[in-house]
Structure 1
Amino acid sequence: MPLKIKPLEAAIHFISTHFPHCRAALLAGSVVRGEATATSDLDIIIFDDTLVSSYRESFIESGWAIELFAHNLTSYRPFFEQDCRRAIPSLPRMVTEGIVLKDTNIVEDIKREARTLLDNGPEAWSDETIEMKRYFLTDTLDDLIGYKTRAEGLFIAGTLATLVCEFILRTNRQWTGSSKWSYRALERYDPLAAQELVAVLEEYYQMNETDALIRYVDKTLSPFGGRLFAGFSLGKLNET
Protein backbone atom coordinates (compact mmCIF):
# COMPACT_ATOMS: atom_id res chain seq x y z
CA MET A 1 0.00 0.00 0.00
CA PRO A 2 1.37 3.48 -0.85
CA LEU A 3 2.51 5.79 1.94
CA LYS A 4 -0.43 7.34 3.73
CA ILE A 5 -1.04 11.04 3.46
CA LYS A 6 -3.02 12.94 6.10
CA PRO A 7 -6.62 11.70 6.28
CA LEU A 8 -8.26 15.03 5.47
CA GLU A 9 -5.96 15.56 2.49
CA ALA A 10 -6.66 12.01 1.29
CA ALA A 11 -10.42 12.52 1.60
CA ILE A 12 -10.39 15.84 -0.27
CA HIS A 13 -8.24 14.33 -3.02
CA PHE A 14 -10.63 11.39 -3.31
CA ILE A 15 -13.66 13.67 -3.65
CA SER A 16 -12.02 15.95 -6.19
CA THR A 17 -10.93 12.94 -8.26
CA HIS A 18 -14.07 10.82 -8.18
CA PHE A 19 -16.93 13.19 -7.36
CA PRO A 20 -15.93 16.71 -8.39
CA HIS A 21 -19.56 17.66 -9.09
CA CYS A 22 -21.22 16.21 -5.98
CA ARG A 23 -23.38 18.52 -3.92
CA ALA A 24 -21.75 17.67 -0.59
CA ALA A 25 -19.28 15.32 1.05
CA LEU A 26 -18.40 14.38 4.63
CA LEU A 27 -15.49 12.55 6.26
CA ALA A 28 -16.60 10.45 9.25
CA GLY A 29 -15.39 7.50 11.29
CA SER A 30 -12.54 6.89 13.70
CA VAL A 31 -10.16 9.44 12.16
CA VAL A 32 -12.69 12.17 12.91
CA ARG A 33 -13.27 10.96 16.48
CA GLY A 34 -9.53 10.79 17.17
CA GLU A 35 -9.73 7.00 17.60
CA ALA A 36 -7.86 5.88 14.49
CA THR A 37 -5.73 2.74 14.62
CA ALA A 38 -3.32 1.15 12.16
CA THR A 39 -6.25 -0.60 10.46
CA SER A 40 -8.67 2.32 10.39
CA ASP A 41 -10.18 3.38 7.09
CA LEU A 42 -11.74 6.60 5.81
CA ASP A 43 -15.53 6.70 5.86
CA ILE A 44 -16.68 9.16 3.22
CA ILE A 45 -20.29 10.11 2.54
CA ILE A 46 -21.21 11.95 -0.63
CA PHE A 47 -24.50 13.50 -1.72
CA ASP A 48 -24.92 13.73 -5.49
CA ASP A 49 -28.26 14.64 -7.06
CA THR A 50 -27.31 12.87 -10.30
CA LEU A 51 -27.28 9.43 -8.63
CA VAL A 52 -30.25 7.19 -9.35
CA SER A 53 -29.89 5.34 -6.06
CA SER A 54 -27.57 4.91 -3.10
CA TYR A 55 -24.64 2.51 -3.07
CA ARG A 56 -21.55 1.57 -1.12
CA GLU A 57 -18.09 0.97 -2.58
CA SER A 58 -14.56 0.32 -1.29
CA PHE A 59 -11.30 1.79 -2.55
CA ILE A 60 -7.61 1.88 -1.66
CA GLU A 61 -6.10 5.26 -2.47
CA SER A 62 -3.49 7.61 -0.99
CA GLY A 63 -2.42 4.78 1.33
CA TRP A 64 -5.91 4.49 2.83
CA ALA A 65 -8.70 1.97 2.68
CA ILE A 66 -11.73 4.09 1.83
CA GLU A 67 -15.38 3.18 2.44
CA LEU A 68 -17.68 5.25 0.28
CA PHE A 69 -21.36 5.77 1.10
CA ALA A 70 -22.98 7.42 -1.91
CA HIS A 71 -26.44 9.01 -1.80
CA ASN A 72 -28.61 11.35 -3.78
CA LEU A 73 -30.58 14.05 -1.97
CA THR A 74 -33.30 11.71 -0.70
CA SER A 75 -31.87 8.18 -0.65
CA TYR A 76 -30.25 8.63 2.76
CA ARG A 77 -33.62 8.97 4.51
CA PRO A 78 -34.66 5.28 4.20
CA PHE A 79 -31.26 4.39 5.66
CA PHE A 80 -31.83 6.81 8.54
CA GLU A 81 -35.20 5.16 9.18
CA GLN A 82 -33.86 1.62 8.88
CA ASP A 83 -30.98 2.35 11.24
CA CYS A 84 -33.37 3.83 13.78
CA ARG A 85 -35.72 0.84 13.59
CA ARG A 86 -32.88 -1.54 14.41
CA ALA A 87 -31.55 0.91 17.03
CA ILE A 88 -28.10 0.99 15.42
CA PRO A 89 -27.89 4.55 14.03
CA SER A 90 -24.79 4.09 11.88
CA LEU A 91 -25.55 6.60 9.12
CA PRO A 92 -27.16 9.29 11.32
CA ARG A 93 -24.13 9.16 13.62
CA MET A 94 -21.68 9.33 10.70
CA VAL A 95 -23.51 12.33 9.28
CA THR A 96 -23.68 14.07 12.65
CA GLU A 97 -19.99 13.65 13.43
CA GLY A 98 -18.77 14.11 9.86
CA ILE A 99 -16.31 16.83 8.87
CA VAL A 100 -17.53 18.77 5.85
CA LEU A 101 -15.34 18.24 2.79
CA LYS A 102 -17.66 20.01 0.39
CA ASP A 103 -21.02 21.73 0.71
CA THR A 104 -23.49 23.54 -1.53
CA ASN A 105 -25.74 24.66 1.33
CA ILE A 106 -27.35 21.26 1.97
CA VAL A 107 -25.25 19.72 4.76
CA GLU A 108 -26.72 21.74 7.62
CA ASP A 109 -30.24 20.46 6.93
CA ILE A 110 -29.11 16.84 6.60
CA LYS A 111 -27.09 17.07 9.79
CA ARG A 112 -30.12 18.56 11.56
CA GLU A 113 -32.25 15.59 10.48
CA ALA A 114 -29.61 13.19 11.79
CA ARG A 115 -29.22 15.02 15.11
CA THR A 116 -32.97 15.05 15.70
CA LEU A 117 -33.18 11.29 15.20
CA LEU A 118 -30.25 10.66 17.53
CA ASP A 119 -31.63 12.99 20.20
CA ASN A 120 -35.04 11.31 20.08
CA GLY A 121 -33.53 7.90 20.77
CA PRO A 122 -34.84 4.55 19.55
CA GLU A 123 -38.44 3.45 19.89
CA ALA A 124 -39.17 1.83 23.24
CA TRP A 125 -39.46 -1.95 23.31
CA SER A 126 -42.98 -3.23 23.73
CA ASP A 127 -43.85 -5.59 26.59
CA GLU A 128 -44.03 -8.39 24.04
CA THR A 129 -40.52 -7.64 22.78
CA ILE A 130 -39.13 -7.55 26.32
CA GLU A 131 -40.76 -10.91 27.00
CA MET A 132 -39.24 -12.39 23.84
CA LYS A 133 -35.79 -11.05 24.69
CA ARG A 134 -36.09 -12.44 28.23
CA TYR A 135 -36.85 -15.83 26.74
CA PHE A 136 -33.84 -15.76 24.40
CA LEU A 137 -31.55 -14.63 27.22
CA THR A 138 -32.89 -17.42 29.43
CA ASP A 139 -32.37 -19.97 26.67
CA THR A 140 -28.77 -18.85 26.11
CA LEU A 141 -28.13 -18.77 29.84
CA ASP A 142 -29.33 -22.36 30.09
CA ASP A 143 -26.94 -23.26 27.28
CA LEU A 144 -24.08 -21.75 29.28
CA ILE A 145 -25.07 -23.57 32.44
CA GLY A 146 -25.24 -26.90 30.62
CA TYR A 147 -22.54 -26.64 27.96
CA LYS A 148 -20.37 -29.71 27.37
CA THR A 149 -17.15 -28.46 25.79
CA ARG A 150 -14.93 -25.43 26.19
CA ALA A 151 -15.37 -24.67 22.47
CA GLU A 152 -19.16 -24.50 22.89
CA GLY A 153 -18.82 -22.33 25.97
CA LEU A 154 -16.70 -19.74 24.19
CA PHE A 155 -19.38 -19.18 21.54
CA ILE A 156 -22.24 -19.26 24.06
CA ALA A 157 -20.55 -16.65 26.27
CA GLY A 158 -20.05 -14.36 23.27
CA THR A 159 -23.71 -14.65 22.31
CA LEU A 160 -24.79 -14.05 25.89
CA ALA A 161 -22.65 -10.91 26.12
CA THR A 162 -24.26 -9.49 22.98
CA LEU A 163 -27.79 -10.30 24.14
CA VAL A 164 -27.41 -8.92 27.66
CA CYS A 165 -25.73 -5.77 26.35
CA GLU A 166 -28.62 -5.21 23.95
CA PHE A 167 -31.15 -5.86 26.73
CA ILE A 168 -29.64 -3.28 29.07
CA LEU A 169 -29.47 -0.62 26.38
CA ARG A 170 -32.83 -1.16 24.72
CA THR A 171 -34.85 -1.45 27.92
CA ASN A 172 -33.44 1.98 28.74
CA ARG A 173 -34.21 3.40 25.28
CA GLN A 174 -30.57 3.69 24.34
CA TRP A 175 -28.97 3.19 20.95
CA THR A 176 -27.03 -0.02 20.58
CA GLY A 177 -24.50 -1.37 18.08
CA SER A 178 -22.83 -4.50 16.80
CA SER A 179 -19.43 -6.02 17.57
CA LYS A 180 -17.22 -3.44 19.29
CA TRP A 181 -19.98 -0.84 19.02
CA SER A 182 -22.18 -2.90 21.32
CA TYR A 183 -19.64 -2.51 24.11
CA ARG A 184 -18.98 1.13 23.28
CA ALA A 185 -22.70 1.91 23.47
CA LEU A 186 -22.96 0.25 26.89
CA GLU A 187 -19.84 2.02 28.13
CA ARG A 188 -21.26 5.35 26.98
CA TYR A 189 -24.56 4.73 28.76
CA ASP A 190 -23.35 2.99 31.93
CA PRO A 191 -19.57 2.70 32.39
CA LEU A 192 -19.92 0.61 35.57
CA ALA A 193 -22.23 -1.92 33.89
CA ALA A 194 -19.80 -2.15 30.98
CA GLN A 195 -16.81 -2.69 33.27
CA GLU A 196 -18.66 -5.34 35.24
CA LEU A 197 -19.67 -7.18 32.08
CA VAL A 198 -16.07 -7.25 30.89
CA ALA A 199 -14.95 -8.50 34.31
CA VAL A 200 -17.41 -11.41 34.41
CA LEU A 201 -16.53 -12.37 30.84
CA GLU A 202 -12.84 -12.32 31.71
CA GLU A 203 -13.56 -14.54 34.70
CA TYR A 204 -15.08 -17.09 32.37
CA TYR A 205 -12.53 -16.81 29.57
CA GLN A 206 -9.51 -16.95 31.90
CA MET A 207 -10.70 -19.24 34.71
CA ASN A 208 -13.63 -21.13 33.16
CA GLU A 209 -15.89 -19.83 35.94
CA THR A 210 -19.47 -19.10 34.86
CA ASP A 211 -21.04 -18.10 38.18
CA ALA A 212 -20.32 -14.37 37.90
CA LEU A 213 -21.61 -14.18 34.34
CA ILE A 214 -24.78 -16.04 35.31
CA ARG A 215 -25.35 -13.66 38.24
CA TYR A 216 -24.82 -10.66 35.95
CA VAL A 217 -27.51 -11.84 33.53
CA ASP A 218 -29.90 -12.71 36.35
CA LYS A 219 -29.39 -9.24 37.87
CA THR A 220 -30.14 -7.68 34.50
CA LEU A 221 -33.33 -9.70 34.07
CA SER A 222 -34.56 -9.29 37.65
CA PRO A 223 -36.39 -5.93 37.27
CA PHE A 224 -38.33 -7.41 34.35
CA GLY A 225 -39.43 -10.63 36.01
CA GLY A 226 -36.26 -12.69 35.80
CA ARG A 227 -35.75 -15.69 33.60
CA LEU A 228 -38.60 -16.73 31.33
CA PHE A 229 -39.36 -20.15 29.89
CA ALA A 230 -42.67 -21.70 30.96
CA GLY A 231 -45.60 -19.90 29.38
CA PHE A 232 -43.63 -18.18 26.65
CA SER A 233 -45.29 -18.39 23.23
CA LEU A 234 -44.35 -16.92 19.87
CA GLY A 235 -46.54 -16.88 16.77
CA LYS A 236 -49.45 -18.85 18.23
CA LEU A 237 -52.83 -17.92 16.74
CA ASN A 238 -55.79 -17.60 19.06
CA GLU A 239 -58.53 -20.10 18.31
CA THR A 240 -62.02 -18.73 17.75
Structure 2
Amino acid sequence: MGDLKRLTPIEAAHQFINNHFPNCQGALLAGSVVRGEATETSDLDIVIFDKRLGSSYRESLIDYGWAIEVFAHNLDSYKHFFEMDYKSAKPSMQRMVSEGIILKDAGIIDSLKKEALAILNNGPEEWSVDTINIKRYFITDALDDFIGCTKPAEELFIANTLAELLSEFVLRTNRHWIGTSKWLIRSLKDYDEEFANQFFEAFNSFYKTGVKTKIINLSEYVLEPLGGKLFDGFSLGKD
Protein backbone atom coordinates (compact mmCIF):
# COMPACT_ATOMS: atom_id res chain seq x y z
CA MET A 1 0.00 0.00 0.00
CA GLY A 2 1.15 3.55 -0.58
CA ASP A 3 1.88 5.81 2.39
CA LEU A 4 -1.19 7.99 1.63
CA LYS A 5 -3.47 5.01 2.23
CA ARG A 6 -1.67 3.72 5.28
CA LEU A 7 -3.86 3.53 8.35
CA THR A 8 -2.72 4.94 11.67
CA PRO A 9 -1.34 2.35 14.13
CA ILE A 10 -4.53 2.45 16.22
CA GLU A 11 -6.81 2.17 13.18
CA ALA A 12 -4.81 -0.71 11.73
CA ALA A 13 -4.69 -2.52 15.08
CA HIS A 14 -8.44 -2.17 15.62
CA GLN A 15 -9.20 -3.46 12.13
CA PHE A 16 -6.83 -6.37 12.65
CA ILE A 17 -8.56 -7.38 15.91
CA ASN A 18 -12.04 -6.98 14.43
CA ASN A 19 -11.15 -9.14 11.43
CA HIS A 20 -8.94 -11.80 13.00
CA PHE A 21 -9.80 -12.01 16.72
CA PRO A 22 -13.35 -10.64 17.06
CA ASN A 23 -14.17 -12.97 19.97
CA CYS A 24 -11.00 -12.51 22.02
CA GLN A 25 -11.28 -11.41 25.66
CA GLY A 26 -8.53 -8.79 25.42
CA ALA A 27 -6.10 -7.13 23.03
CA LEU A 28 -3.34 -4.55 23.36
CA LEU A 29 -1.24 -2.48 20.99
CA ALA A 30 2.32 -2.22 22.32
CA GLY A 31 5.85 -1.50 21.14
CA SER A 32 7.58 1.52 19.70
CA VAL A 33 4.45 3.11 18.18
CA VAL A 34 2.98 3.32 21.69
CA ARG A 35 6.16 4.71 23.26
CA GLY A 36 6.53 7.39 20.60
CA GLU A 37 9.75 5.80 19.32
CA ALA A 38 8.53 4.47 15.97
CA THR A 39 10.84 4.53 12.96
CA GLU A 40 10.19 3.89 9.27
CA THR A 41 10.72 0.17 9.84
CA SER A 42 8.70 -0.18 13.05
CA ASP A 43 5.97 -2.78 13.20
CA LEU A 44 2.81 -3.14 15.27
CA ASP A 45 3.12 -5.37 18.32
CA ILE A 46 -0.34 -6.71 19.09
CA VAL A 47 -0.94 -8.86 22.18
CA ILE A 48 -4.02 -11.10 22.14
CA PHE A 49 -5.74 -12.89 25.03
CA ASP A 50 -8.22 -15.48 23.79
CA LYS A 51 -9.50 -18.29 26.02
CA ARG A 52 -10.14 -20.52 22.99
CA LEU A 53 -6.43 -20.83 22.14
CA GLY A 54 -4.77 -24.09 23.12
CA SER A 55 -1.37 -22.49 23.64
CA SER A 56 0.59 -19.31 23.03
CA TYR A 57 2.04 -18.53 19.64
CA ARG A 58 3.78 -15.73 17.75
CA GLU A 59 3.06 -14.80 14.15
CA SER A 60 4.36 -12.17 11.72
CA LEU A 61 2.39 -10.80 8.79
CA ILE A 62 1.77 -7.69 6.69
CA ASP A 63 -1.69 -6.15 6.63
CA TYR A 64 -3.31 -2.72 6.49
CA GLY A 65 -0.02 -1.23 5.30
CA TRP A 66 1.87 -2.42 8.40
CA ALA A 67 4.19 -5.21 9.44
CA ILE A 68 2.38 -6.82 12.36
CA GLU A 69 3.78 -9.01 15.14
CA VAL A 70 1.08 -11.02 16.90
CA PHE A 71 1.66 -12.40 20.40
CA ALA A 72 -1.33 -14.65 21.07
CA HIS A 73 -2.10 -16.20 24.45
CA ASN A 74 -4.94 -17.87 26.25
CA LEU A 75 -5.88 -16.74 29.75
CA ASP A 76 -3.21 -18.91 31.40
CA SER A 77 -0.39 -19.45 28.91
CA TYR A 78 0.92 -15.88 29.22
CA LYS A 79 2.09 -16.72 32.76
CA HIS A 80 4.81 -18.97 31.34
CA PHE A 81 6.21 -16.01 29.40
CA PHE A 82 6.01 -13.76 32.45
CA GLU A 83 8.05 -16.34 34.35
CA MET A 84 10.50 -16.96 31.51
CA ASP A 85 11.11 -13.23 31.01
CA TYR A 86 11.52 -12.75 34.76
CA LYS A 87 14.20 -15.44 34.94
CA SER A 88 16.08 -13.99 31.96
CA ALA A 89 15.70 -10.46 33.42
CA LYS A 90 14.39 -9.29 30.02
CA PRO A 91 10.72 -8.46 30.70
CA SER A 92 9.48 -7.95 27.15
CA MET A 93 6.08 -9.52 27.81
CA GLN A 94 5.58 -7.52 31.00
CA ARG A 95 6.49 -4.30 29.17
CA MET A 96 4.07 -4.98 26.33
CA VAL A 97 1.22 -5.64 28.72
CA SER A 98 1.95 -2.75 31.07
CA GLU A 99 2.45 -0.11 28.34
CA GLY A 100 -0.06 -1.43 25.83
CA ILE A 101 -3.00 0.61 24.58
CA ILE A 102 -6.24 -1.29 25.08
CA LEU A 103 -7.86 -2.37 21.84
CA LYS A 104 -10.42 -4.69 23.39
CA ASP A 105 -11.24 -5.65 26.97
CA ALA A 106 -13.83 -8.06 28.35
CA GLY A 107 -12.82 -7.21 31.91
CA ILE A 108 -9.40 -8.90 32.10
CA ILE A 109 -6.88 -6.22 31.10
CA ASP A 110 -6.75 -4.29 34.38
CA SER A 111 -5.61 -7.31 36.38
CA LEU A 112 -3.08 -8.28 33.68
CA LYS A 113 -1.58 -4.80 33.72
CA LYS A 114 -1.34 -4.82 37.52
CA GLU A 115 0.36 -8.23 37.41
CA ALA A 116 2.88 -7.01 34.82
CA LEU A 117 3.60 -3.76 36.67
CA ALA A 118 4.15 -5.59 39.96
CA ILE A 119 6.86 -7.71 38.33
CA LEU A 120 8.47 -4.71 36.64
CA ASN A 121 8.49 -2.63 39.81
CA ASN A 122 10.02 -5.43 41.92
CA GLY A 123 12.93 -5.87 39.54
CA PRO A 124 14.74 -9.11 38.67
CA GLU A 125 15.98 -11.75 41.10
CA GLU A 126 19.01 -10.72 43.15
CA TRP A 127 22.30 -12.33 42.09
CA SER A 128 24.08 -14.54 44.61
CA VAL A 129 27.69 -13.91 45.61
CA ASP A 130 28.72 -16.98 43.58
CA THR A 131 27.00 -15.63 40.48
CA ILE A 132 28.64 -12.23 40.93
CA ASN A 133 32.05 -13.87 41.20
CA ILE A 134 31.48 -15.96 38.08
CA LYS A 135 30.51 -12.83 36.17
CA ARG A 136 33.56 -10.96 37.55
CA TYR A 137 35.78 -13.76 36.29
CA PHE A 138 34.36 -13.74 32.76
CA ILE A 139 34.57 -9.95 32.54
CA THR A 140 38.19 -10.15 33.73
CA ASP A 141 38.93 -12.82 31.14
CA ALA A 142 37.42 -10.77 28.31
CA LEU A 143 39.11 -7.59 29.53
CA ASP A 144 42.54 -9.22 29.64
CA ASP A 145 41.98 -10.59 26.13
CA PHE A 146 40.99 -7.11 25.01
CA ILE A 147 44.03 -5.45 26.57
CA GLY A 148 46.46 -7.97 25.09
CA CYS A 149 44.90 -8.29 21.66
CA THR A 150 46.73 -6.69 18.72
CA LYS A 151 44.40 -7.75 15.88
CA PRO A 152 41.74 -5.12 15.07
CA ALA A 153 39.18 -7.67 13.85
CA GLU A 154 39.44 -9.64 17.10
CA GLU A 155 39.48 -6.47 19.25
CA LEU A 156 36.17 -5.44 17.71
CA PHE A 157 34.34 -8.59 18.75
CA ILE A 158 35.95 -8.76 22.18
CA ALA A 159 34.68 -5.20 22.72
CA ASN A 160 31.19 -6.35 21.72
CA THR A 161 31.39 -9.13 24.31
CA LEU A 162 32.57 -6.70 26.97
CA ALA A 163 29.65 -4.37 26.22
CA GLU A 164 27.16 -7.16 26.89
CA LEU A 165 28.96 -8.48 29.98
CA LEU A 166 29.45 -5.05 31.55
CA SER A 167 25.91 -3.84 30.96
CA GLU A 168 24.51 -7.07 32.40
CA PHE A 169 26.81 -6.82 35.44
CA VAL A 170 25.91 -3.21 36.24
CA LEU A 171 22.19 -3.75 35.86
CA ARG A 172 21.85 -7.11 37.62
CA THR A 173 24.03 -6.17 40.59
CA ASN A 174 21.75 -3.15 41.02
CA ARG A 175 18.52 -5.15 40.61
CA HIS A 176 17.59 -3.65 37.25
CA TRP A 177 16.29 -5.31 34.11
CA ILE A 178 18.72 -5.99 31.27
CA GLY A 179 18.41 -5.88 27.50
CA THR A 180 20.10 -6.77 24.24
CA SER A 181 20.44 -4.91 20.94
CA LYS A 182 18.71 -1.51 21.24
CA TRP A 183 17.41 -2.49 24.68
CA LEU A 184 20.97 -2.71 26.02
CA ILE A 185 21.42 1.08 25.99
CA ARG A 186 17.76 1.70 26.84
CA SER A 187 18.10 -0.45 29.94
CA LEU A 188 21.22 1.43 30.99
CA LYS A 189 19.42 4.75 30.52
CA ASP A 190 16.52 3.52 32.64
CA TYR A 191 19.03 2.72 35.36
CA ASP A 192 21.31 5.77 35.18
CA GLU A 193 21.38 8.11 32.18
CA GLU A 194 24.74 9.63 33.10
CA PHE A 195 26.36 6.19 33.33
CA ALA A 196 24.68 5.18 30.05
CA ASN A 197 26.26 8.18 28.35
CA GLN A 198 29.69 7.26 29.75
CA PHE A 199 29.17 3.68 28.58
CA PHE A 200 28.27 4.82 25.08
CA GLU A 201 31.20 7.21 24.91
CA ALA A 202 33.69 4.51 25.97
CA PHE A 203 32.64 2.10 23.23
CA ASN A 204 31.95 4.74 20.61
CA SER A 205 35.43 6.16 21.14
CA PHE A 206 37.01 2.74 20.66
CA TYR A 207 34.99 1.96 17.53
CA LYS A 208 36.00 5.30 16.01
CA THR A 209 39.66 5.49 17.06
CA GLY A 210 40.77 1.99 18.13
CA VAL A 211 41.99 3.44 21.45
CA LYS A 212 41.05 1.07 24.28
CA THR A 213 41.63 3.29 27.32
CA LYS A 214 38.03 4.32 28.00
CA ILE A 215 36.71 0.75 27.81
CA ILE A 216 39.48 -0.47 30.13
CA ASN A 217 38.76 2.31 32.63
CA LEU A 218 35.01 1.68 32.43
CA SER A 219 35.48 -2.05 33.03
CA GLU A 220 37.62 -1.47 36.10
CA TYR A 221 35.15 1.13 37.39
CA VAL A 222 32.24 -1.33 37.02
CA LEU A 223 34.09 -4.17 38.78
CA GLU A 224 35.64 -2.17 41.62
CA PRO A 225 32.59 -1.93 43.97
CA LEU A 226 32.17 -5.74 43.87
CA GLY A 227 35.82 -6.64 44.43
CA GLY A 228 37.50 -5.71 41.16
CA LYS A 229 39.01 -8.10 38.63
CA LEU A 230 39.02 -11.78 39.54
CA PHE A 231 41.39 -14.45 38.29
CA ASP A 232 43.75 -15.80 40.93
CA GLY A 233 41.97 -18.32 43.12
CA PHE A 234 38.80 -18.52 41.07
CA SER A 235 37.33 -22.01 40.78
CA LEU A 236 34.19 -23.35 39.15
CA GLY A 237 32.81 -26.85 39.67
CA LYS A 238 35.59 -28.10 41.92
CA ASP A 239 34.60 -30.33 44.89
Q: Same fold (TM over 0.5)?
A: yes
Please, which of 172, 195, 198 is the counterpart of residue 196 of structure 1?
198
Give every structure 1 segment of 4 or more consecutive aligned residues whose post-TM-superposition deviation is greater than 3 Å.
none
**1:2 Cα offset (Å):** 4.8
Q: Please tell me the residue identity of whatever aligns with 1:16.
A: N
**1:203 Cα offset (Å):** 1.6
In the other structure, the counterpart of 1:65 is: 67
Matched, 1:127 2:129: yes
SS of residue matched to 2:107: coil
**1:235 Cα offset (Å):** 2.0
**Gapped runs of 5+ residues in structure 2?**
none
Decide whether aligned partners of structure 1 residues 101 and 65 sit closer, same or farther in structure 2, where only a CA change above 3 A counts.
same
Q: How many residues align?
A: 237
Q: How does 1:1-240 map to 2 (within 5 A)?
A: 1-3=1-3, 4-236=6-238, 238=239
**1:233 Cα offset (Å):** 1.6
SS of residue matched to 1:25: strand
Q: Please tell me the residue identity of whatever aligns with 1:61.
A: D
**Gapped runs of 5+ residues in structure 1?**
none
Q: Please tell me the residue identity of whatever aligns with 1:59.
A: L
Q: Please tell me the residue identity of whatever aligns with 1:121.
A: G
How many Å separate the matches in 2 of 1:148 and 1:49? 58
**1:148 Cα offset (Å):** 3.0
How many Å separate the matches in 2 of 1:222 and 1:79? 35
How many Å separate the matches in 2 of 1:57 and 1:202? 35
SS of residue matched to 1:83: helix
Task: With the length of structure 1 as denominator, give the TM-score of the two structures.
Answer: 0.96
Q: Please tell me the residue identity of whatever aligns with 2:50.
A: D
How many Å separate the matches in 1 of 2:223 and 2:120? 26
Computed over aligned residues only, the root mean square deviation of the Cα atoms, in angstroms, reads 1.0
Task: With the length of structure 2 as denominator, give the TM-score of the two structures.
Answer: 0.97
Identity %: 57
Q: Deviations over 1:152-211 (max 9, x none)?
A: 111111111111111111100011111110110101111111111111112211111001
Tell me if the contact between 1:2 and 1:62 (Cα under 8 Å) persists in the aligned partners: no
How many Å separate the matches in 1 of 2:118 and 2:142? 36
SS of residue matched to 1:235: coil
